[in-house]
Structure 1
C-alpha cells in the first residue's frame, strides 16, 4: 500500500471533493463539513483508494489529506500538492521526503505552494 499526504491551509468545505472529482472516478467523499475527520474513497485505474481528511493539523489551520492505495494518481506528495494547488489556489504544504527518523524536527523542510510559488520552508 502506498500513500500520499498533503496539508491544505484554511480548507473550504467541498474543496477536496471538487478537486478530486476532476482527477479520479467514483469519488465518495462528503467534505461539506471539514471540522471533523472525513473518510471517503475513489477509484483510480479501477483500484479503490482510501481518502481521509484530518482537520487541525499543525496549529489548527491545516487539514491533512491522506490518500492510500495500491495505485495512486501522483508519483509524489509534491505532484499531488501541485494538482491540489492548481484546483484550490490556497496554501498547500507537503513533505520534501528528505526527513529521516532521528533527524531534528526543527531542521525539517517542507514544500510550500502558494501565490509566491514553490518554496522549501521550515513549517513555522
Structure 2
C-alpha cells in the first residue's frame, strides 16, 4: 500500500473534492465541513483508495490530506503538492522525501509551495 500526504493551509470547504474530481474516478468525499475529520474513497486506475482530511495540523491553520491505496494519481508527495497548489492557490506543504513513521525527521525541512515558488523550509 502506498500513501501520499500533504498539508493545505486555510483549506476552503469543497476545495479538495473539486480538485480530486479531476484526477480520480467515483470520488466519494464530503469536505463541506473543513473543521472536522472527513473520510472518503475513490478509484485510481481501477483500484480503491482511501482519502482522509485531518484539520488542525501544525498550528491549526493546516489540514492534512492523506491518500492511501495500491495505485495513486501521483508518484510523490511533492508531485501531489504541486497539483494541489495549482488547483487551490493556497500554501501547500509536504515532506521532502521517503520519510516513514518512526524515523527521525532530517533537519525538520519541508517543501513549501506558494506564490513565492517552491522552497525547502523549517516548519515553524
Q: TM-score, normalised by structure 1?
A: 0.94
> Distance in 2 between the 1:27 and 1:15 partners?
13
Q: 1:2–1:18: structure 2 CA closer, same or farther, 3 Å change rule?
A: same
Residue of structure 2 in register with 1:102 after alignment: 104
Match runs of 1:1-124 below 5 Å: 1-97=1-97, 101-103=103-105, 107-124=107-124
CA-atom RMSD in angstroms = 1.3
Partners of 1:102 and 1:73 in 2: CA distance = 27
Provide the C-alpha distance between the structure 2 equivalents of 1:65 and 1:97, rounded to a whole number of angstroms.
Answer: 16
Q: CA deviation at 1:102?
A: 3.4
**Number of matched pairs:** 122
Deviation at residue 98 of structure 1 after TM alignment: 6.3
Structure 2 vs 1, CA of residues 116 and 41 (structure 1 numbering), >3 Å: closer, same or farther?
Answer: same
SS of residue in 2 equivalent to 1:81? helix
Distance 2:105 2:115 in 1: 30
SS at match of 1:40: strand
Shift of 1:43: 0.7
- Structure 1 unpaired stretches of 5+: none
Question: Distance in 2 between the 1:28 and 1:98 partners?
Answer: 28
- Residues 1:49 and 1:99: Cα distance change in structure 2 (over 3 Å): closer
